[in-house]
Amino acid sequence: MYAWSELTKVQQAVLIGAAESATLTDLLALWEPGSSWTARAAYVPRLAEAIVQLARGGLVEVYAGPAESGAETGLLLGDEIADVVSDPRNWGFGDHSGTMVELLCTDHGSDVLRTSGPDVYGFRQH
């Protein structure tokens, strides 16, 4: 089992985002709320890698589907996760033709989040 203190700052942000059912664009805003949208693009690779790591560790699940409002999403598995979360279009960059991606916290992830203590948003001091 993981403990909050064992996670990197980026992984902590992803886990909090997943607990809030964040989309990838929500996660960018959570990680770097004061930056311009264009400046946030630099964080996509780090956040994408953290998503893959936490999904492999069973702390988060990744769902994806058409970007249309109300469209159903499906659970991604294995290499599908890395393929989808590493595509900048799915984060709202480029031609915006991407897939809507949502992160959800698993029960195991919720257990880890409960070990965070009072400084749950301390990752913002990155």
- Which residue would you say has higher pLDDT here, 72 or 54? 54
pTM: 0.89
User: pLDDT tens for residues 68-89?
Assistant: 666 678 999 999 999 999 998 8
Q: Do 6 and 53 contact (CB within 8 A), yes or no?
A: no
| Confidence band, pLDDT 50/70/90 cuts, at residue 46 | very high
CATH number for the region 6-116 comes to: 1.10.10
Sequence-separated (6 or more) residues with CB below 8 Å from residue 39: 32
- Tell me how far CA of residue 26 lies from CA of 30, 78, 102, 104, 107, in angstroms: 6, 23, 9, 12, 21
User: Under DSSP, is residue 37 helix (H, G, I), strand (E, B) or coil?
Assistant: helix
Count CA within 13 A, CB hemisphere, residue 104.
10
Q: How far apart are the first and last CA of the chain?
A: 24
Task: Extract the tokens encoding 10.
Answer: 């980026």
User: pLDDT tens for residues 110-126?
Assistant: 999 998 877 666 665 65
